[in-house]
Amino acid sequence: MNEKILVLDFGGQYNQLIARRVREQKVYAEIKPYNKISCEDIKNAGYKGVIFTGGPNSVYDESSPHFDPEILNLGIPILGICYGAQLLAFMAGGKVQSAADRSEYGNTVLYVNDSPLFEGVPKKSDSFMSHTDYVSEVPQGFTVIATTDNCPAAAFSCDGKALYGVQFHPEVTHTEYGKIILKNFLYNVCKCSGNWKMEDFIEKTAEKYREELKGKKVLLALSGGVDSSVAAALLYKAVGDNLICVFVDHGLLRKDEGDFVENTFKGKFGMNLIRVNAQDRFLRKLKGVTEPEEKRKIIGEEFIRVFEDEAKKLGKIDVLAQGTIYPDVIESGKGDSAVIKSHHNVGGLPDVISFESIAEPLCDLFKDEVREVGVKLGLPNELVYRQPFPGPGLAVRVIGEITKSKLDILKEADAIFREEIDRSPEKIETNQYFAVLTDSFSVGVKGDARAYGYVLALRAVTTDDFMTAQWTRIPYETLERASNRITGEITEITRVVYDITSKPPATVEWE
């Protein structure tokens, strides 16, 4: 069995990051909300250690999240981080105080003493702090193992009971030795051996589904996105031809993308893939529609109808497979993997197609782990490291009414822009880049003659989470090459502009 660590969630903003950092150390970690698991469950689940996360509250608030103090007596090592450390101190009988003059935010110098938690950490280093409350008195039997200028107990421990609290955030990169501190907790304190490996995950998951899905017909809606592609490759390893992938090509994909998906899964892997070329059907539904949200709604609904029509032809389906990943499960707030993600392209399918159960082979993995699995299963890098692409596709990048000719123009221009970015001699730090066909027209001169054509916008953003984003500083030379090629190779475009709006106030997509 895999060793596992519980990340007990008290509402902090870095909780997923903590779990990822643990997994980076080759120890499996799962996140559970503090009010969705009992002390008894924790005891029985065989965790090697528990991490209390941060949280926005103060331990003395009546409404603040607390936990059964019995957890301190289970003999399971605990690491409290920020609010988690204050809670640990409070539960063990220490004192927490609130004082504005003690609050720290940002990089703070940390002084550490000898402790199994700080093996390999210099006496003085940088840590990241974000707190107003602080532990003013450690509980009886605990000792202070680190301080800062403002914080008398920046870390404390009771080695005998393997209980540790740190006021700073070891999970963020600003804490210089954060990785080592987490590693020390996992290996020195929890005595983990580090047996979480992707190869094992792939073998074990394939084996599990080989058993569970024996003789069953499994249906998966393949979008060509990372999650559904990796789910398909993994399930194919498990059940082979019993997996049927339906790829609805709505004609709103980027240039040659439909063929690429088909060649990869049908050609390279030899999978049972049905490609439905439904561009005409989607264009008919979208005729005359200009309002962005209406476009999205129509595409979402039509996608389901097309998928449903195809599924009906297949007869009885036993299992519906989905590419749900761990952040989707956590964000659903329920930790219940059977919840269908509402923003998923196939949301709503269960109402129209009957099946016995759902298979979600990636529901324990973070995005970077999903990518690792994809690479190990032999999926092309182009697919595994694909930039995000909205479900409604180019429909939200053709401003105004969508027509086949507008889509064709955009596909060409977008392909040129992406090619120029990819071949740029300078390294460009960008996370999403694409072209937008505006509904503005502009006068130009082409071959000594007056031309009147589309204004095309180029967009590139640099971001961690897509909630906020900076416009990418693309070198002028790259922009110039893209612009020259686009106006030179595409007759219908007379002008190219670059979007220099960050998010907020703009969104990444234009519609």
Q: Show which residues are catalytic.
A: 82, 169, 171
Q: Are 49 and 8 spatial neighbours (Cβ–Cβ below 8 Å)? A: no
Residue 348 within binding range of ligand XMP, rule CB under 6 A: no
In the complex with ligand XMP, which residue's Cβ is closer, 295 or 481? 295
* Residue labelled with tokens 């005409």: 280
| Residue 390 binds to ligand XMP (criterion: CB under 6 A) | yes
Asked if 437 contacts 409 with a C-beta cutoff of 8 angstroms, the reply is: yes
| Region binding ligand XMP by CB under 6 A among candidate stretches 105-113, 215-223, 357-365, 389-397 | 389-397
List, in sequence order, the alpha helices (H) in 240-317.
257-262, 279-286, 292-313
Quickly list H helices, 335-378: 349-352, 367-376
Nearer Cβ to ligand XMP, position 378 or 388?
Answer: 388
Q: Of residues 46, 240, 388, 488, which one binds ligand XMP by CB under 6 A?
A: 388
Q: What is the CA radius of gyration of the chain?
A: 27
Q: Does 503 bind ligand XMP (CB under 6 A)?
A: yes
Is it true that the peptide bond before 139 is cis, omega within 30 degrees of 0? no
The token pair at 7 is 């990340």
Q: What is residue 286's three-state secondary structure? A: helix
The residue (of 244 and 395) whose beta carbon lies closer to ligand XMP is: 395
CB-CB neighbours of 154 under 10 Å: 27
Q: Nearest distance from residue 421's CB to ligand XMP, in Å?
A: 16
| Entry field: residues in the chain | 511
What is the per-residue binding string for ligand XMP in 244-283, x denoting contact by CB under 6 A?
Answer: ----------------------------------------
Q: Does 393 bind ligand XMP (CB under 6 A)?
A: no
Q: Rule CB under 6 A: is residue 292 a binding residue for ligand XMP?
A: no
Taking contact as CB under 6 A, which single stretch among the options 163-171, 234-242, 386-394, 436-444 is the one that binds ligand XMP?
A: 386-394
Position 508 contacts ligand XMP (CB under 6 A): yes
Q: How far is CA 354 from the centre of its chain?
A: 29
Q: Hey, is 260 helix, strand or coil?
A: helix
State in angstroms the smallest separation of the CB of 347 from ligand XMP.
11
Element (H, E) at 98: strand 95-98
210 in Cβ contact with 239 (< 8 Å):
yes
- Judged by CB under 6 A, the residue of 57, 432, 472, 494 near ligand XMP is 432
The reply to whether 380 sits near ligand XMP by the rule CB under 6 A is: no
Tokens representing 95? Answer: 């004192």
Say how many C-beta atoms besides its own lie within 10 A of residue 369's C-beta. 20
Confirm or reject binding of residue 361 to ligand XMP (CB under 6 A).
no
Query: Taking contact as CB under 6 A, which single stretch among the options 37-45, 311-319, 387-395, 473-481 is the one that binds ligand XMP?
Result: 387-395
Q: How far is the CB of 431 from ligand XMP (least distance, A)?
A: 8
Residue 385 in the binding site for ligand XMP (CB under 6 A): no
Give first-to-last CA distance, the chain, whole Å. Answer: 47
Which position has the token pair 């092309």? Answer: 380
CB 299 → ligand XMP: shortest distance, Å?
8
Q: Residue type for 20, please?
A: R
Q: Which is nearer to ligand XMP, 136 or 462 (CB)?
A: 462
**CA 279 – CA 435 distance, rounded (Å):** 20
Stretch that binds ligand XMP, among 106-114, 226-234, 303-311, 501-509 (CB under 6 A): 501-509
* Least Å from the CB of residue 434 to ligand XMP: 8
Interface positions with ligand XMP (CB under 6 A):
296, 388, 390-392, 432, 466, 503, 507-509
